[in-house]
Amino acid sequence: CCDTQWDDICAQQAAQDCNASCGCSGGGTPGGGGGACCAASDGAGCNISACQNCVCSLDSFCCDTQWDDICAQQAAQDCNASCGCSGGGTPGGGTTGGTCCAASDGAGCNVSACQSCVCSLDSFCCDTQWDDICAQQAAQDCNASCKCTTTGGTGTTVKGCCTAQSSPGCTTSSTCQNCVCAQDSFCCSTSWDDLCAGAAANQCKSSCGC
């Protein structure tokens, strides 16, 4: 801080660890008004020391590089006791996190245990977007943590593999889906149409049980 540059971390230390001497207004905010812990920001770290320490112990990227959506989500979920995010926090810069059993535009979902399970299988779900495949993994491989129900208890209707659907894939059997999509990738990329349902009932009957 004195040898090279008074950067965001120096300002943050002034605001938090040395505030008795520095007198930063309101406890100080890093980065000249750095982001609240429960929302994504362009800079590293956030404005509550205990929260920041908790999150950065899980993901050092949040303090070294940028306090992104994933950091805000960890603040809201894994570290909420320290972070005090309103209503459990709203990851993604203030927008409500998507339900785990349905696709959404953002990364991650609103149940920490479910998110951890799915992202351990497919990091894309936490790094980039919680898409249809992530929602499907929540409903199938991680349902013990995600509690997705056949009636859509967390916001989605589970799609049977033996009937045509307008959306891609099916959610009642990953084995069936893999069998059908190995024969026709259209079924997983575009729409689970009549041909896909037919393949489930015929070529993949042993996997699908139609």
pLDDT digits (tens, 9 = 90+) for 3-30: 776 766 776 676 667 756 665 543 333 3
How far apart are alpha carbons 112 and 93 in whole angstroms? 17
Q: Does the CA dihedral 47-51-57-58 come out positive or negative?
A: negative
How far apart are alpha carbons 126 and 151 in whole angstroms? 25
Q: Is 21 helix (H, G, I), strand (E, B) or coil?
A: helix
Does residue 130 fall inside a structural domain? Answer: yes
Residue 115 pLDDT greater than 50, yes or no: yes
* pTM of the complete model: 0.33
Considering the domain architecture, whether residues 90 and 137 belong to the same structural domain is answered as: no
What was the pLDDT predicted at 21? 63
Residue 96 pLDDT greater than 60, yes or no: no
Cβ–Cβ < 8 Å for 93, 59? no
Which of 79, 94, 109 is the last residue before a domain boundary?
A: 94
Give the range of the structural domain holding residue 116, as residue numbers without chain letter: 97-157
What was the pLDDT predicted at 199? 92
Considering the domain architecture, whether residues 53 and 68 belong to the same structural domain is answered as: yes
pLDDT mean across residues, the chain: 74
Does residue 26 fall inside a structural domain? Answer: no
Residue bearing the bigger pLDDT, 122 or 26: 122
Q: What is the mean pLDDT of residues 183-206?
A: 88
Residue 32 pLDDT greater than 60, yes or no: no
Helices 194-201 and 174-183 cross at an angle (nearest 10°) of 110
What was the pLDDT predicted at 88? 40
Q: What is the mean pLDDT of residues 196-202?
A: 89
Number of domains in the chain: 3
Which of 157, 178, 202 is the last residue before a domain boundary?
A: 157
Does residue 25 fall inside a structural domain? Answer: no
Considering the domain architecture, whether residues 134 and 66 belong to the same structural domain is answered as: no
